[in-house]
Amino acid sequence: MDFYRKSFELIVENQYDLEEKLTQYFELYNFKINRESSNTYTFFKKLSLLDGWKMNPLDWGSRITIIQDSDTLVITYYVSGNSQITPIAFEKLFSEFINNLNLFINGNQNFTQSNALEIALARQKLAKYYLKILLGITFGFIIGFIIENLTSFQYLKTICVFLSFYGTIKLLNHNIIINKTVSD
């Protein structure tokens, strides 16, 4: 499965309470913090077997490394995904998440509504994605059922369901990588 990795640069206008703001922002979304040095922060969520069932891409296994260099923050955002859909499909969510961090740090703007909207849009994309997988599995089941009854091969239905599941995931992820979004 592909992963998402992107770097951002933010200019910090006021460094007075930067560490507190960073911690406050990421802890609101349940990220854990690991302070590596005086100018390096890592916020992370551990990869879990349950990531495939999480409907919020911000809850997937990820790591955000922030390196402070005078008035610039260099942010590297890495998301490993949920083992079914490539996180590249949610590039807009991850970019807006960092953009809202910038607005919070530099302008003390409220970010919760904007992030909530992006999360809701991501959940809709995930629902469409899972619906397409379900349709692929249903199609595989029907084809397998018909062929199994015609040939009397006992496990053909199961093989067709598995192949349609795997093929649908591969096809959808390939389409996402090419188009950078879940198609409607």
Q: Where residue 180 falls among pLDDT bands split at 50, 70, 90?
A: low
Per-residue pLDDT at 70 exceeds 80: yes
**Model pTM score:** 0.84
Rounded Cα gap, residues 93 and 29, in angstroms: 13
Q: Which pLDDT score is estimated for 184?
A: 46
Rounded Cα gap, residues 145 and 111, in angstroms: 51
For the stretch 137-162, what's the b/e string if a residue is b when 16 or more beta carbons lie within 10 angstroms of its beta carbon? beebbebbeeebeeeeeeebbeebbe
Residue pair 172/88 in contact (Cβ under 8 Å)? The answer is no
Mean pLDDT of the chain, nearest integer: 87
Rounded Cα gap, residues 64 and 42, in angstroms: 6
- Residue 51: Cβ within 10 Å count: 20
More confident residue, 143 or 182: 143
> What is the DSSP code (8-state) at residue 85?
S
pLDDT digits (tens, 9 = 90+) for 5-57: 899 998 888 777 888 889 999 999 999 998 877 889 999 988 877 777 788 89
How far is the first Cα of the chain from the last one, in angstroms, to the nearest whole number? Answer: 21
